[in-house]
C-alpha cells in the first residue's frame, strides 16, 4: 500500500447505513473539507461505509497508515448499530472500557436533564484505552482520538462543535492553500486539450474544469488550487493568453 507522505494530509471516513441508503443527506463532509482547506490541510480521500465491522476496521487501518489525520463521523451513539468505538478498539488493538471521565460527563448531563442514564446511554462512555477525549459541548457524550484518528459524532451540530471547539485549536496551521478561478463562455470540450497540456506542465497544482449551463450561456469554470501561488498565477497567465488568441470570452 502506497503511503501518502505529503504534509498535513487528511481522509474522512463517513460511517452509517442511513447515508448509503440516501435517507440522510451528509453535510459533515462539506464542513470538514472547508475547515481543512482554511487550515492548510489537504483532503485526499473520502470513504462512506456501512455499519459493518469488517469494512470499518479495514478502512480505519488503511487510512490511518496513508494520511496524517483521519476524521470519522457517525456510529458513536447509544443504539445497536453504533459500533465505531468497538471497531476503533479492534483496529488499533485496544480494549474497549468504561472511561471514567466520559462516565462522569454523562452522569452529570443526564442528571441535569432528569433522564435515566440507562445501559444504552452508558454505551457512549465506552471508549478504547489510551484514547484522548474530544469535548462535546452540545450533548456531553465525547468523541475521542486514537493515534491519528479523530472519532466524531454523526449529528452535524455535535460534530461541528467538536471540530471547532476542541480539534481545530489542536491542529497546527499548515501552508495556505490558494484557489483561483476563471469563467469562460465555452463548453469545456473546447479547451480540454489545452487544459491537459497545462496540467502536465504544472503538476504541483490542481486544475479542474466544471461546466455550467445557465441559458442562454453555456460555459466552464476553471479552478486552480495548490500551495504554490506563483505557479497558479503563471498557469492562469498562459490560459488567458490562449483564450485571447482563440477569441474565447472569459471573466477573471
Go through the domains of the chain in sequence order and give each one's CATH number: 9-170 (3.40.980.10), 179-251 (3.30.70.260)
pTM, rounded to two decimals: 0.89
What is the tens place of the pLDDT at every residue in 112-154?
A: 999 999 999 999 999 999 999 999 999 999 999 999 999 999 9
Residue 2 has pLDDT above 60, yes or no: no
Peptide bond into 216 cis (omega under 30): yes
Q: Is 80 exceeded by the pLDDT of residue 1? A: no
Q: Where are the alpha helices (H) located in the chain, listed in sequence order?
A: 17-20, 28-39, 53-66, 84-91, 100-112, 119-122, 156-162, 192-201, 229-245
Which pLDDT value is given to residue 210? 96
* pLDDT grade for 250, boundaries at 50, 70 and 90: confident
Q: 10 Å Cβ neighbour count for 213?
A: 9
Query: Is residue 31 classed as helix, strand or coil in its secondary structure?
Result: helix
Q: What pLDDT, in 10s, does the model give residues 173-229?
A: 888 899 999 999 999 999 999 999 999 999 999 999 999 998 888 999 999 999 999
pLDDT tens-digit series, residues 12-56 = 999 999 999 999 999 999 999 999 999 999 999 999 999 999 999
Amino acid at each position: 500500500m502506497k503511503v501518502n507522505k505529503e504534509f498535513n494530509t487528511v481522509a474522512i471516513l463517513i460511517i452509517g447505513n442511513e447515508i448509503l441508503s440516501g435517507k440522510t443527506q451528509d453535510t459533515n463532509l462539506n464542513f470538514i473539507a472547508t475547515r481543512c482547506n482554511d487550515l492548510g490541510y489537504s483532503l485526499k480521500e473520502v470513504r462512506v461505509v456501512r455499519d459493518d465491522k469488517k469494512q470499518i476496521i479495514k478502512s480505519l487501518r488503511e487510512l490511518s497508515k496513508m494520511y496524517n489525520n483521519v476524521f470519522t463521523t457517525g456510529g458513536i451513539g447509544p443504539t445497536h448499530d453504533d459500533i465505531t468505538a468497538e471497531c476503533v478498539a479492534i483496529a488499533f488493538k485496544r480494549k474497549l472500557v468504561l472511561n471514567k471521565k466520559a462516565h462522569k460527563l454523562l452522569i452529570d448531563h443526564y442528571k441535569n436533564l432528569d433522564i435515566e442514564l440507562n445501559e444504552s446511554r452508558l454505551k457512549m462512555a465506552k471508549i478504547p484505552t489510551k484514547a484522548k477525549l474530544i469535548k462535546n459541548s452540545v450533548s456531553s457524550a465525547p468523541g475521542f482520538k486514537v493515534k491519528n484518528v479523530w472519532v466524531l459524532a454523526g449529528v452535524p451540530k455535535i460534530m461541528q462543535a467538536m471540530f471547532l471547539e476542541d480539534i481545530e485549536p489542536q491542529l497546527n496551521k499548515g501552508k495556505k492553500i490558494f484557489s483561483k478561478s476563471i469563467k469562460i463562455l465555452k463548453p469545456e470540450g473546447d479547451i480540454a486539450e489545452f487544459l491537459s497540456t497545462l496540467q502536465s506542465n504544472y503538476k504541483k497544482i490542481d486544475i479542474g474544469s466544471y461546466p455550467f449551463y445557465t441559458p442562454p450561456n453555456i460555459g466552464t469554470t476553471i479552478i486552480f488550487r495548490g500551495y504554490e501561488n506563483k505557479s497558479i498565477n503563471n498557469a492562469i497567465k498562459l490560459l488567458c493568453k490562449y483564450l485571447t488568441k482563440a477569441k474565447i470570452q472569459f471573466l477573471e
